[in-house]
Structure 1
Amino acid sequence: MHTARGDVSLAGVSEVPPRPRRREQRPVGERETLEAFLDDYRDIVLRKVTGLSDAEARRRLVTSATTVGGLVKHLRWVEYGWFSQLLQERTNDNRRTHKRSWEFEFFPEESLATLIGEYRAQCEESRRIAARYSLDHQVPHVRLGRVSLRWIYVHMIEETARHTGQLDILREQLDGTTGFDG
């Protein structure tokens, strides 16, 4: 499965996506800059989890219930909440009907390959949705008032980068892989 951007196929979860370089290409406009940073962090998430087994992605290495698989699952739902639900004004909140803790649980019947596939698909859907709106487009949010697509991009960069840092630490604990190598 190739995305519109030409990312590597899902067939081999062991395939490492290309090293993120969009930011290094110095995008010219504000929108291009926001998209480049978010897409780079999305790709870093994929690099961090590629090559891990389901067992490794389920391992709890910190006191909280945080796992690699749970973070990927959560990031998929974050994309859905902000772009599919809120930006399209299906709801006036980005919360889902399930408990938030469910997003972080990596259940035995789930696989890392499936979670990666769902994350990739949701990111592609988020890109498609966002492309229809200007950065100044605003939507109502029950807790935050009105938020613009610009605000959503900045929030998603922050959210994805924060969880990428967690993935970096977990990956290092699992197999010693650090930086862009994993």
Structure 2
Amino acid sequence: PSGLLLDSGVTLNEAWIGVAAIRLADAGDCASDATIDLPNHYVINLLTGQSYPPLPSFKRLEGAYCSFAFGFAVVPDLPAEAPALLANNSFLIKGLRSDGVPFLLTAPLEDVLSLAAESGQFELLAPRTDLIVGFELNTWFASGLLDTVLGLLDLNLDLLSNPALVTEFLDGVEGSVTLFEDLDHDGLLDPEEMTPLARP
């Protein structure tokens, strides 16, 4: 496959993450620990939007919420659809640097990412609610992250063995996430659904 060409010139051929502990926090009790709505582990292919197993719809009553959170997680039992290299990692990114050098980036990072409501709270009005967590992949490598490792013909980066890259990579990842509501339940982010519910 030709992959996804980013604005930085980086081409992504694979982009997988493991996530867990997905939760919504009620606006009236935002200071307390939120109930975990979806406790299972999920593997997500960011280039196709597919989740393994499929992410279920939220079946909560209508209400107001102040935040949405999830954790990047090492998935203990990978589904058959996931690449083997994701084992013991929460991130797996493969592609080509802007100069054509192939790279493989893996990391077992398990940070929790909380997205705060844009205006203090957001309301979910339908009995069934589908949410879309959007990742702006251009921000992951916008700062020339991969160009800081020079002189190699093939980059195989374990982020924990390259601690100088960890903070920069995480900043790009965390700044890329936005929560939207999938109003027509089709699994796609349509133009009329582009109003953000929550951001980091």
**Normalising by the residue count of structure 1, what TM-score does the alignment of the two structures yield?**
0.25
Greater radius of gyration (CA): 2
Higher relative contact order (CA 8 A, sep 6+): 1
More helix by share: 1
